[in-house]
C-alpha cells in the first residue's frame, strides 16, 4: 500500500513538471509568435495625397522591423471613413485577418460633418467590443477638430475619446496629430491632411501606446469550426 502511495506521488510530481513545462512553452510561443496589426482608419491613415509607402502606417512596419518585433501590418483605412462605416466593415476584417491588435483611428469625419458626438462614441465603443470579442487588443486613437465648430461641440468631441478609454479600460493615443496640428507648414494645401514630413511625428504619437501591446503575449484565439 505504501509503495502504491509513493508511486502515485512520483506520478503526480511528474505530471506537475510536465504541465509547468508546457505552460512555459506556451508562454514563450505566445511572446515570440508573429502578430498581426490591423489599422482601421480614415484618410489620415490611408496615405491621402502622399506617395505610396510614406504614410505613418508604412513607417510603422519599418519601425517594427528595425526593433526586431515580428509583426505584419494590414492597412484597412479608407479616405472619408466614419465611425459607422468602420463599425460596419470591422466584422469582415476581423474574420479575414484575425488580427492580434486593432488600431482604431476614426471619428474625424464624424466631427467634420457635425454628427452627434454620442453616436460616434457609441460606434467606437461597439468596435472596441467587437475587437475584444475576436480575442484581439484594441488601441483607440484620439482626435480633435478645428475650433470653428463651436467650443461646446469641439470640447465634447475630443473628450469623448478620453471618456471612452477610461470607461472601457482601453489603450489610448491621446491625439493623433499632437505637435502637428498647430503647424500649418506640415499640411497639404487642403489644410486637413498632413504632408509626408509630418508622418514620422504621427508615428511617434502612436508608438508609446502601441509598443506595450506588441510586447504582450498573444491572446488565445478561438478555433474555427
Tens of pLDDT along 94-104? 999 999 999 99
Quick check: is 42 catalytic? no
Instruction: State the pTM of this model.
Output: 0.85
Catalytic-labelled residue, pool 54, 79, 84, 193: 193
Q: Is 43 a catalytic residue?
A: yes
Chain centroid, CA 42 distance in Å: 14
Section 210-218 average pLDDT = 95
Residue 193 falls in the annotated catalytic set: yes
CA distance 43 to 58: 14
User: pLDDT by residue (tens digit) across 49-67?
Assistant: 999 999 999 999 999 999 9
35-215: CATH topology? Rossmann fold (3.40.50)
Q: How is residue 107 annotated by DSSP?
A: -
Distance CA 99, CA 41 (A): 15
User: Can you give the pLDDT at residue 64?
Assistant: 96
Q: 152, 182, 190, 225: which one is catalytic? A: 190
Q: Are 154 and 112 in contact (CB under 8 A)?
A: no
Alpha-carbon span 95 to 38, nearest angstrom: 12
Give tens-digit pLDDT for 3-16.
555 555 565 565 55
Q: How far is Cα 138 from Cα 63, in angstroms, rounded to an integer?
A: 20
pLDDT tens digits, 150-185: 999 999 999 999 999 999 999 999 999 999 999 999
Catalytic residue chosen out of the listed positions 43, 158, 160, 209: 43
Q: Where are the domains of the chain?
A: 35-215
Amino acid at each position: 500500500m505504501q509503495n502504491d502511495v509513493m508511486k502515485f506521488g512520483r506520478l503526480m510530481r511528474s505530471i506537475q513538471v510536465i504541465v509547468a513545462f508546457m505552460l512555459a512553452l506556451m508562454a514563450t510561443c505566445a511572446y515570440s509568435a508573429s502578430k498581426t496589426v490591423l489599422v482601421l482608419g480614415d484618410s489620415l491613415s490611408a496615405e491621402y495625397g502622399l506617395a505610396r509607402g510614406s504614410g505613418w502606417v508604412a513607417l510603422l512596419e519599418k519601425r517594427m522591423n528595425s526593433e526586431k518585433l515580428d509583426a505584419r501590418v494590414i492597412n484597412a483605412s479608407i479616405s472619408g471613413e466614419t465611425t459607422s462605416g468602420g463599425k460596419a466593415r470591422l466584422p469582415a476584417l476581423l474574420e479575414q485577418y484575425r488580427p492580434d491588435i486593432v488600431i482604431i483611428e476614426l471619428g474625424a469625419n464624424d466631427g467634420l460633418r457635425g454628427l452627434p458626438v454620442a453616436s460616434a462614441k457609441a460606434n467606437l465603443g461597439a468596435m472596441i467590443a467587437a475587437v475584444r470579442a475576436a480575442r484581439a487588443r484594441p488601441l483607440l486613437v484620439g482626435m480633435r477638430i478645428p475650433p470653428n465648430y463651436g467650443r461646446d461641440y469641439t470640447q465634447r468631441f475630443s473628450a469623448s475619446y478620453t471618456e471612452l478609454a477610461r470607461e472601457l479600460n482601453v489603450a489610448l493615443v491621446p491625439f493623433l496629430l499632437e505637435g502637428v496640428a498647430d503647424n500649418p507648414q506640415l499640411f497639404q494645401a487642403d489644410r486637413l491632411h498632413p504632408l509626408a514630413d509630418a508622418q514620422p511625428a504621427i508615428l511617434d504619437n502612436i508608438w508609446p501606446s502601441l509598443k506595450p501591446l506588441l510586447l504582450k503575449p498573444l491572446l488565445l484565439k478561438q478555433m474555427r469550426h
